[in-house]
Structure 1
Amino acid sequence: MASRTTHPVLDTRSLNRATLARQLLLSRAELSARDAVEHLLGLQAQNVKPPYFQLHARLAGFRPAELAGLMESRQVVRMVTMRSTIHTHTAEDALTLRPLVQPARDREVNYFRKGLVGVDLGRLDKTARAFVEAEPRTMGEIREELLKQWPDADPQSLAVAARCRLPLVQVTPRGVWGRSGQVRLTTLDTWLGEAGAGRDAPTGSGVDEVVLRYLGAFGPASVKDMQTWAGLTRLREAFERLRPRLAVFQDENGVELFDLPDAPRPDADTPAPPRFLPEFDNLLLSHTDRTRVLAPEHKGRSWRGNQAFCTLLVDGFLAGLWKPDGSGLTVELFGTASKAQRDEIVAEGESLLAAMTEAGAEGGPGNPASVRFGSIHD
């Protein structure tokens, strides 16, 4: 009887340090904001400020104006991609990743079929596309336009169908730091101009390239990990095609993990400084097994009902929450921390406040020691 194949085992701390290295969270990288967005395959952007907080945690000398400028020059865009959530992507990645996840968006439409009885989806596509390409529109305006064609359909189902079937981007000033703006949408091709034309959905080696890039940003990882990140299924075939080019490990539960052979896998004892992350940071959302950053006893603590909290890493793991307010920010620790760790947390928080207040964030430069420990629920 053939013995079961085994691979080198990576324990939880080893996986933690490897992932933090890929995520640029062991030490701040000397990268441009655009290169970081590309390396990370996008930034979770359900709200406006999180992408800026994500880059501050990862890049040396980052200032919000850099990302804001990329948005205004259309080098990066905000749109629905992985897991049906808003992400900030480089223009090139938006053109590649949205087609990759389109099958999942098509399945999402199927959940709303009862509200779309009698609706010709091909006609809906053409109607919605012409409407938003004439000028950027709000989702409410799109819904009302579609109701003119199908008055008996469910309004929410019509809106979901348009959102899922068309590659819609949120146009600026939405998403630009220090500015406000209603969510208005147009198609990716229209927003990018000629750069968006003539690009087809990736197949074969195109999907393989995204697998390699995912491992570079989130590895070592299992097939199910990447499927969780992308909100897709059936990626095993791509991993098997790539197996001869990959390093293969397993976790302490025997789950097979793939990685790029030359990717960094630091020693498990490598120091990991505190990092302030926003709600919905992809570090916490892109693996099926999240114990590499989230201890089982803290599972669910970054949420309350429908509210997600900003999170704090200490020694590489989720160790608390934080919340900005008018006079700085409050840190809520899940457990105890040494004086040295608390000093590091304060210093990191002050760095965040200093960088963000330069661009008009909450808090003021006159309050350099405005990081407090307490409860964010007070």
Structure 2
Amino acid sequence: MTILDNRALNRATLARQHLLTRTDTPVPEAVAHLCGLQAQEPQEPFIGLWSRLAGFEPGRLDDALTGRTVVRTHLMRRTVHLVTAGDALAWRARHDTMLRQRVRGTYRNELAGIDMDEVAAAGRAVTADRQPRTMRELVQALEDRWPGPPRRVLGELLVAALVPMAQLPPRGLWQQRAGVRNLPLAIWLERDIDPLPTGDGDPVGQRLLRRYLAAYGPAAGADLRAWCGLTGLPAAVKACREELVVFRDERGRELLDLPDAPRPHPDTPAPVRFLPAFDNAVLGYHDRSRIIDAPHLGLSVAGHRTVLVDGRVTATWTVRDHRLHISPLRPLTAPEQEAVHAEAQDLATFLDEGIEDVRLGTED
């Protein structure tokens, strides 16, 4: 069985994430290919798309959000993702149990004795008038019936788990600050959420597996679970196995992949890329060693924006005091410094935040 080392896996990930070569794919198609972008920080998806799409203009994502072809919603791992309308409707029912379990597990004591189905029915009744509401407004409509849980807990239960919600624009539009206003997905998208198919083989799980491998493979079953947060996927893997190819990584883990998916040569040059906070190119795996070294794993979950040099997380970056600051995690060679600086200059122009210069190093 072919063994793929970390460098081979790295290049496969970069190719599928459009981080080897920027693509001219339209925004909705790019969001679909990437299986969504993590978006709890509203401006970060713009950076993620800028690093992946040739000539990306923020207005294209704005148009997709206001035109309802992409939507902000709680989905994978109970985090806010920017996904296509079609994926939100097709995937939501498969994620329902996981979303409920994660909220219940986080607030086990606060939600003791609460009937989730009753709360969900009440939430749907409140939102039936098609009026967008903040979480606070939703909770105010329910708290007389459920006065026990803290408002924040009841609100998160309702919005992040029980009633599939869209976070409406102007939340998530380019360089706009706006609070979260919620409306049920089915109302905002004017289409019912797809029912969960019955029968063997977990059809939705199979589609998730194929889509995940197209954007993240080769990958292990544990990587798939880490990305989506779902358990119970072995049936989907079993049903798809005959159509997949199998590799091993350096640790001996079995890796699955689509037969015709790109797997570039490990020596393929990788350009410098600036990633936003919580980018799924890093977070989308259980074993992240293909893209980030073990001493720096904490960066991937702490919200640090990162820089890829030769395909690996090699620096963090931030904007403050009208400067784009880059903090390397290891010494950079002169050519690497030049490439990082050039890409940073282009990013500064894109961000259009009055950035006056780029500072490479830890000094202020």
**TM-score of the two chains, using structure 2 as the length reference:** 0.94
Report what 1:96 is aligned to. 90
Alignment of 1:1-378 (within 5 A): 7-111=1-105, 112-134=107-129, 135-163=131-159, 164-193=161-190, 196-197=191-192, 199-202=194-197, 204-302=202-300, 307-357=302-352, 362-364=353-355, 367=356, 370-375=357-362
**What secondary structure does 1:107 align onto?**
helix
Cα distance between partner residues in 1 of 2:5 and 2:193: 45
Cα distance between partner residues in 1 of 2:193 and 2:133: 24
Deviations along 1:185-211, one digit per CA (max 9) or x if unpaired, are: 110001111xx2262125632321111
Using the TM superposition, give the Cα deviation of residue 123 of structure 1 relative to its aligned residue in structure 2, in angstroms.
2.5
Using the TM superposition, give the Cα deviation of residue 131 of structure 1 relative to its aligned residue in structure 2, in angstroms.
2.2
The worse-fitting range, judged by mean Cα deviation, of 279-288 and 176-185 is 176-185
Asked if the contact 2:75/2:92 (under 8 Å) is kept, the reply is yes
Cα distance between partner residues in 2 of 1:255 and 1:240: 17
Cα distance between partner residues in 2 of 1:133 and 1:140: 17
**What secondary structure does 2:166 align onto?**
strand
Cα distance between partner residues in 2 of 1:263 and 1:338: 33
Cα distance between partner residues in 2 of 1:15 and 1:312: 18
The AA in structure 1 aligned to 2:354 is G
- Across the aligned residues of Structure 1 and Structure 2, the Cα RMSD in angstroms comes to 1.7
Using the TM superposition, give the Cα deviation of residue 308 of structure 1 relative to its aligned residue in structure 2, in angstroms.
1.8
Cα distance between partner residues in 2 of 1:115 and 1:301: 31
The worse-fitting range, judged by mean Cα deviation, of 326-335 and 155-164 is 155-164
Deviations along 1:334-377, one digit per CA (max 9) or x if unpaired, are: 111122111111111111122232xxxx225xx4xx2211228x
Cα distance between partner residues in 1 of 2:10 and 2:272: 14
**What secondary structure does 1:300 align onto?**
helix
The AA in structure 2 aligned to 1:296 is A
Structure 1: where are the runs of 5+ without partners? 1-6
Using the TM superposition, give the Cα deviation of residue 241 of structure 1 relative to its aligned residue in structure 2, in angstroms.
1.2
Gap change, CA 1:199 and 1:319, over 3 Å in 2: same
* Number of residue-to-residue matches in the alignment: 358
The AA in structure 1 aligned to 2:158 is A
Asked if the contact 2:89/2:193 (under 8 Å) is kept, the reply is no
The AA in structure 2 aligned to 1:146 is L
Structure 2: where are the runs of 5+ without partners? none
Cα distance between partner residues in 1 of 2:299 and 2:114: 42
Identical columns (%):
40
Deviations along 1:140-194, one digit per CA (max 9) or x if unpaired, are: 122222211122344333223212111111111100112221111110001111x
